[in-house]
Amino acid sequence: MFHKAILFSLGIFVLTGCDAQKKAKTDSKNSEMTSHTTSNDQKNGIIYLDEGEYKFLKEYQMNITFKGISEDSRCPEGVNCIWAGAALAQVEVMGISTRPVLLNLASMDFPNRNYHQSADFNGYTITLQEVNPYPKSGGTTELNGKYKIGISIKKAGASSDTTRK
């Protein structure tokens, strides 16, 4: 009988520990969610995102995530280049009733390489306006994880001065 009491109390102890771990995980997820869904860093209609950051944009009813830069062939500062080059940002967008879509937005339109500065999603045109920092002569590998982009979002059909995909 004594061994049953010990096993019973050991079982209660294990289950209590599991419940505490679940609460800790949900608390950390909630704090992580609130840290990324705070006010939009907007200046002049441009929304800024750091690499890996995501934001829920309430006015557009969409979640937007800056996944990273897949290519940065921009001419480094202080170097003479034949072509100015382009940066290709991977931006994941998801509406409240849509699946996620990965957009490859370029810092400039270049149809021959299938680079587009804008793309349409869920009735909106999303345009890449800025990519920072600009590469130095040492190369772009040191910039991994440090990129920041600026995008603008307008109703699709509103006049814009960039080509749409």
Highest mean pLDDT: which of 55-59, 74-78, 109-113?
55-59
Instruction: Burial-class residue 62 by CB neighbours within 10 Å (0-12, 13-18, 19+).
Output: buried
Cβ density class 93-130: b for 16+ within 10 Å, e for less: bbbeeeeeeebbbbbeeeeeeebbbbbebbebbbbbbe
**pLDDT confidence of residue 63:** 95
Q: Give the predicted TM-score (pTM) of the model.
A: 0.66
Residue 94 · residue 101 · CB < 8 Å? yes
**pLDDT confidence of residue 48:** 95
Place 82 in a pLDDT band, splitting at 50, 70 and 90.
confident
